[in-house]
Amino acid sequence: MRLIDVSPLYRVQTTAPEKFEERPVPPWLADIAAAVSALDTTGDGALLTLETVRARYPQNKAGDPYEAVWNRFFPEESATQQR
């Protein structure tokens, strides 16, 4: 049996900002990458979780060029920001 996730086909498509070069990459982007890849960035054997990333960066991401990336991993926060 082969399972295919088609849910991205039904999500609202947003366009990415055109000028990422104008803004530096936020530090939380690397932390999300480490968490989802299970990469031990500290070398002590402790893995970073998405919950830890969310707790580290509680500020609102609205208007940030990388907001779409944050909302991909924390969709419930984007829903509450739109209200």
Write out pLDDT tens, residues 22-74: 778 888 998 999 888 887 767 777 788 899 999 999 888 888 888 888 999 99
For the full predicted model, state whether its pTM sits above 0.75.
no
Per-residue pLDDT tens digits for 14-30: 766 566 667 788 889 98
Going from N- to C-terminal start, the domains of the chain cover 25-82
Answer whether 57's CB lies under 8 Å from 50's CB: no
Task: Report residue 83's pLDDT band, with 50, 70 and 90 as the boundaries.
Answer: very low
User: For the chain, what percentages of helix, strand and coil (3-state, to nearest 5) are there?
Assistant: 50, 0, 50
